[in-house]
Structure 1
Amino acid sequence: MWFLSSRMDDFPKCSVCQQQFTFKGHAPYLLPCLHAVCETCVTSGAGGVISCSTCQREVNLTNSSLQKDAVRQKEIFHLTVKHRPTELLCTHEDDGNQAVCWCQDCEELLCEYCQNIHSNFKVTRRHVVQNFADLELTFSTVPKFCSIHKYHPLYLFDKSCKKLICARCRIEDHVDHEVEKVDVAADSVTKQLEYHKNELSTLQTRHQANMHSIRQGTESTDETHNSLKENIRHTFHSLRSQLNQREKELLIDLENHTKETKAAQHALLTACEEDKKTCKRVLDYINNVFLFASKSDILGLERYVGEMTRTCLDTAAPQTYAVPRAVFNTNSLSKLKANVSGFGAILTMDMDGKSEIIADRGTQTDDDFMADVEMKHKMRIDEKDAIEKKDAKTIDLLLGVARECGVHLLKPGAVDGSLILKCIPLKYDKDSVNLNKVHINTEGDLVNRKSDTRPAEEETEEVHRHMQHCASPNDGCPQYWEVENRVNLDKQLSENCLILSVGVCREEQRDLHHRIDERPYSYCMNVAHLTKHIGLCNNIWKEGKRVLCLPDTLPNTAGASNTLHYGVVYDDARKKIVFIDLKEKKVISTLDNVDCSEPLWPMFGVYNPHLLTVSMGLVVGSDINMTEEKKAMIVKALS
């Protein structure tokens, strides 16, 4: 019985009513969260809204239509063949004959009698027929036929209508639409799914490392607990007559502190395990896509899988966990006899903290011991004062170097240059701006339009420009600047079209006649329109190669107007560049392993004045409104 139950558990379940899907039952429908829901729950959703009981995400059915989950349908078929073959009956017989094989070309179940006829019939003798024992995960290469034009195969994909069409559909109802072959469209989506799979695999590794770090932190907390417990006992041994009650209070304090610390660590571990499960679930679904989905199935999955992948990445925890350590504070030991009730505390110390543990000397009298403690306490205060003065000088020095820049501490009390953010005061270098199709207006914005007042001899060929600023591009501190872009589409874009770029490159790459993204040693973010997507996209480029595409982030509509606000962090010490969408309040991408062996300089571009209007304004230096929310995003992206 246990073996049978284990087999039944293999079948997918409805994420609302938890009923198992079966081969003869209702077909599963795919939710945006990649869970499945049965047809009964879809039709009976209260108020047109259903809630996924697995991840508690609500779906409004009035605003979105659900597609059948072809991946799970084929998974259910293969599980039925493997575990419940007696439920499969011959397609051609009404007398209940048991099916024994599957014709891949006809997509039909056959009994032994029909199999013999199938093999001897001239039209079907070359079909691929597989016995259930040998059934493999293969996809039919026989084309599906159009429901409107009979016997015309569906071998084209209409990117505008998002549907398969035949050749007659192409020249009739879809003549003005953008169309490509199914294989080409499916291959494009497959590459995007491969990218999602690689990102989620990396994220899953990070989850595993973070969980391991938290478990190590729990062990370290136990070790610290045992060490401090012994230290407390030793300290109170010399003061037992006066401190028995206080010792008990501090031990209770320590127990509560330890419980709270471990409870917080347990909560973090639980949250990380849930994130890991979500990551694994999405990753497993992508793997099932590659196992069970045909190319036509894949076309409808990109939006759902991409959304869940971005959700996983946006909520990802850091790879390592900083263990909060407790310390036993004995600063008031010199006044202990006079102020026993206030002595001792259990504190949390970060990884870089120091703790002075004073061991009792059995040969000392209480007065000698207290005098020794008081002297050490005074020495510690003097040392602390010296460190604070040194830190103050360091901060003054850093502020002096950047006196014309907006300087912000990413963490309170930070004196390390890697924790100080410089909002560098960029300005346009007008001598290096290509003025063929752009100009700098009276507000100081870069506009993709030719100026009517510019002398003719200033004309050149391309549209690029670069910037200069007052600080060295490599000085050990993360540097930050923002751009505000106003984009107006004169008409709907129907071709591949670059709109704007922002990024960095080497000095020798500051060439006015080349795009930023195509250059070696360049790192940038583009806003563009790609013909394979409906809306406008955000693209991340690294040394001439596109490493990330976020499709349909903005509408592609004639007359549309959008204000885009981006932030850029360049950290040569960590070899990272971060692109932030300040309007959406999220990090778009973090580029690691940036080649900082030579200085990198800010670069900007606006393009295609015959199709749209772009105005790029700088927000730099002390003009930047550096909120705590921005700091938190930057710290997380650089960690």
Structure 2
Amino acid sequence: MASNVTVQSLLEKISVDHLECSICTNRFRQPKLLDCLHSFCLQCLQELRQSQYPSGTKLTCPLCRRETMLKGSGVADLPNIFAFSALVEEVTMQEKLLEGQGSEIKCQNCDEENQAVSRCMDCDHFLCQECQKAHGRMTLMKSHKIYTLAQLRSGEIVYTSKLRDEVPKCGKHPDQNLNVYCNSCEQVICTTCSVLDHAKHSLTGLPEAVEKCKKKVTEMVQKSERRKTQLSTTMEETCKFRKELDTMFANSKKKLSKKAQQEITKVKQEVAKIQKEEHKLMKEMDRIYKERVTTFEAAQAKNKKEVTQTQHKLEEVKQLMKEASCYEILELQQKLLHNLSELTGKQPQQVPDKLSFMD
């Protein structure tokens, strides 16, 4: 039972939509992020580009049809999402531990293919009983953290991918870690780049830059949440007015028929005339009603679509802010803020309440 809880806790970190590529429907392999915040496997995007614009500088998202401009090496230069790769690795590892309660897992430290009984978190290897003992005898490995498969299966110890601790290297200086944020260029750079290429720019340490970025994103998320609430309120009001229109329409038809019948009773010689007038008015009312219903339904459909798109976009932003590293957050700052800005700029489609009145 505890094992199931462990798997569930891992899967709850991210939805299936984020764990799997929508193109190949397999779990992510080298996930890349488009400007619309949708993620796909590197190879899937490369094949997609060949089918869309083999020699072009843009790529159309297969989910939302939004275009992403490609730079440098094309698809390969799109932002990496190491957080997704790490989560795929963690979930895959947990499933592997649970399959047959881990009986098929072999030792990765020797060539004897003995059944593994534990895992060394420092070596990132499964160990058999003999290799585990060898670890304990070697001075350099005595400090390594070794946990049994039972501990990993039960959830007592949760496997964490080393990708989460990976520090990106500078493209210009491969031996340098990215550890400075240039506010002027809005990018993460290394110390050498800060001296050679950004000396006159506004520079900030990563912790401070991440906090500022998180604050900006949080503010935009709040604005987007308020817009979603506004859309939902407008939809509720539109639904209310539509119901009022239906009621007024029904009552008006009843009143009209009643009046017609009264006139027929009073003046029999004018029956034909009155019935003809009734038919004419009914037809006109039907026309007006249908026009207004069309207006209400169009407004509802547009607002519903906006709510859905807003919700999906917010989920993408929240997931990225939750799972992405500080480096990725800063690299994606403009994309995040741009997407959220688009959400806050749209206004809900409203229908005048006077259209619900009919008599």
State the TM-score, normalizing by the size of structure 1: 0.42
- Note the alpha carbon deviations across 1:590-638, whole angstroms, 9 max, x for none: xxxxxxxxxxxxxxxxxxxxxxxxxxxxxxxxxxxxxxxxxxxxxxxxx
Equivalent residue runs for 1:117-196 within 5 Å: 120=136, 122=140, 125=143, 131=152, 133=155, 134-135=157-158, 148=173, 150=175, 153-160=177-184, 162-172=186-196, 174-196=198-220
C-alpha distance 208-327 of structure 1, shift in aligned 2 (>3 A) = closer
Q: Which protein has the bigger helix share?
A: 2
Kept in 1, the 8 Å contact 2:299–2:350? The answer is no
| 1:198 paired residue number | 222
Q: Structure 2 unaligned runs (5+)?
A: 1-10, 265-270
User: 1:217 — aligned with what?
Assistant: 241
Residue identity opposite 1:73 in structure 2: S
Q: Which amino acid aligns with 2:59?
A: I
Shift of 1:118: 11
User: C-alpha displacement at 1:212, in angstroms?
Assistant: 1.5
Q: How is 1:490-639 mapped onto 2 (pairs within 5 angstroms)?
A: none
Q: Does 1:41 align with 2:56?
A: no
In the TM superposition, residue 74 of structure 1 has moved relative to its aligned partner by: 3.9
Cα pair 1:209 1:319 within 8 Å, conserved? no
In the alignment, is the contact (CA less than 8 A) between 1:50 and 1:58 conserved in 2?
yes
In structure 1, what residue type is equivalent to 2:78?
L
What secondary structure is seen at the aligned counterpart in 2 of 1:274?
A: helix
The alpha carbon displacement at 1:279 in A equals: 1.3
Matches of 2:215 and 2:63 in 1, distance apart? 29
The answer to whether the 8 Å contact 2:249/2:289 transfers is yes
AA matched with 2:215:
K
Checking the alignment, whether the CA contact within 8 Å between 2:181 and 2:206 is kept in structure 1 is yes
How far apart, CA to CA, are the structure 2 residues paired with 1:282 and 1:216?
A: 28
2:24 is aligned to 19
**Residue of 297, 314, 319 corresponding to 1:266:** 297
Check conservation: 1:149, 1:168, Cα contact below 8 A: no
How far residue 192 of structure 1 moved from its aligned partner, in angstroms, is 0.8
Aligned residue in 1 for 2:4 = none
Report if aligned partners of 1:10, 1:79 keep a CA contact under 8 Å in 2: no
Q: Which residue of 2 aligns with 1:73?
A: 85
Aligned: 1:58 with 2:76: no
Task: Show the counterpart of 1:357.
Answer: none
Relative to 1, partners in 2 of residues 1:211 and 1:28: Cα closer, same or farther, differing over 3 Å?
Answer: same
The verdict on how the C-alpha distance between 1:290 and 1:323 changes in structure 2, with shifts beyond 3 A counting, is farther
Summarize the Cα distance change of 1:314–1:176 in structure 2 as closer, same or farther, 3 Å threshold. Answer: closer
How is 1:76-91 mapped onto 2 (pairs within 5 angstroms)?
76-81=88-93
Q: CA deviation at 1:66?
A: 2.4
* Offset from partner CA, 1:544-600 (integer Å, 9 cap, x none): xxxxxxxxxxxxxxxxxxxxxxxxxxxxxxxxxxxxxxxxxxxxxxxxxxxxxxxxx
Q: Distance in 1 between matches of 2:193 and 2:69?
A: 32
The change in CA–CA distance for 1:283 and 1:260 in structure 2 (over 3 A counts) is same
SS in 1 for 2:353: coil
> Which runs of 5 or more structure 1 residues have no equivalent in the other structure?
1-5, 329-639
2:35 alignment counterpart: 32
Equivalent position amino acid for 1:213 in 2: E
Q: Secondary structure at the match of 2:45?
A: helix
Q: Distance between the aligned counterparts of 2:191 and 2:181, measured in 1?
A: 10
Q: Which of these residues, 109, 112, 126, is aligned with residue 111 of structure 1? A: 126
Residues 50, 61 of structure 1: 8 Å contact kept? yes
Are the structure 2 counterparts of residues 51 and 154 from structure 1 closer, same or farther at C-alpha, using a change threshold of 3 Å?
closer
Q: For 1:50, what is the secondary structure of its paired residue?
A: strand
Residue 237 of structure 1: CA displacement? 1.4
C-alpha displacement of 1:204: 1.8
Which of the two has greater strand per residue?
1
RMSD of Structure 2 on Structure 1 (CA): 4.3
**Larger CA Rg, structure 1 vs 2:** 1
Q: Which residue does the alignment assign to 2:8?
A: none
Superposed CA deviations along residues 29-59 of structure 1, whole A, max 9, x for unmatched, are 2111111233233442425233223222223
Deviations 1:50-75 (A, max 9, x none): 32232222234369852223444344
Q: 1:507-538, CA deviations, whole angstroms, 9 ceiling, x for partnerless residues?
A: xxxxxxxxxxxxxxxxxxxxxxxxxxxxxxxx
Deviation for aligned residue 1:94: 9.1
Query: Which amino acid letter does the alignment assign opposite residue 318 of structure 2?
Result: N
TM-score between the two structures when normalised by the length of structure 2: 0.70
Q: Does 1:10 align with 2:22?
A: no
1:21 Cα deviation from its structure 2 partner: 4.2
Residue 172 (structure 1) shift: 5.0
- How many residues are matched? 315
| Counterpart in the other structure of 2:254 | 230
| Aligned amino acid, residue 53 of structure 1 | P
How far the C-alpha of 1:256 sits from its partner, in A, is 3.7
- Is the 2:117–2:128 contact (alpha carbons within 8 Å) kept by the matching residues of 1? no
Give, as a single letter, the amino acid of the residue that structure 2 aligns with 1:199: K
Kept in 2, the 8 Å contact 1:236–1:244? The answer is: yes
State the distance in 1 between where 2:89 and 2:350 align: 39
Show CA shifts across 1:196-252 (max 9, x none): 121122122112212211221222122111111111112211334122233234334
Q: Deviation per CA, 1:468-509: give whole Å up to 9, x if none.
A: xxxxxxxxxxxxxxxxxxxxxxxxxxxxxxxxxxxxxxxxxx
Separation (CA, whole Å) in 1 of partners of 2:285 and 2:164? 66
Classify 1:140/1:188 alpha carbon distance in 2 versus 1 (closer, same or farther; 3 Å). Answer: same
1:416 corresponds in structure 2 to none
Residue 33 to residue 321, structure 1, CA distance change in 2 (3 Å): farther
Shift of 1:119: 7.6
Q: 1:289 to 1:9 in 2, by over 3 A?
A: closer
* Structure 2 equivalent of residue 245 of structure 1: 276
Whether 2:315 is the aligned partner of 1:310: answer: no
Cα distance between partner residues in 1 of 2:261 and 2:82: 73
Higher mean displacement: 288-297 or 312-321: 312-321
User: Contact (CA 8 Å) 1:21, 1:76: kept in 2 or not?
Assistant: no
CA distance in 2, matches of 1:234, 1:140: 75
The match for 2:353 is: 322
The amino acid across from 2:306 in the alignment is D
Superposed CA deviations along residues 357-405 of structure 1, whole A, max 9, x for unmatched, are xxxxxxxxxxxxxxxxxxxxxxxxxxxxxxxxxxxxxxxxxxxxxxxxx
Give the fraction of aligned pairs with identical amino acids, expressed as a percent: 16
SS of 1:59 mapped into structure 2 = strand
Q: 1:41 to 1:192 in 2, by over 3 A?
A: same
CA distance in 1, matches of 2:36, 2:211: 23
AA in 1 matched with 2:63? T
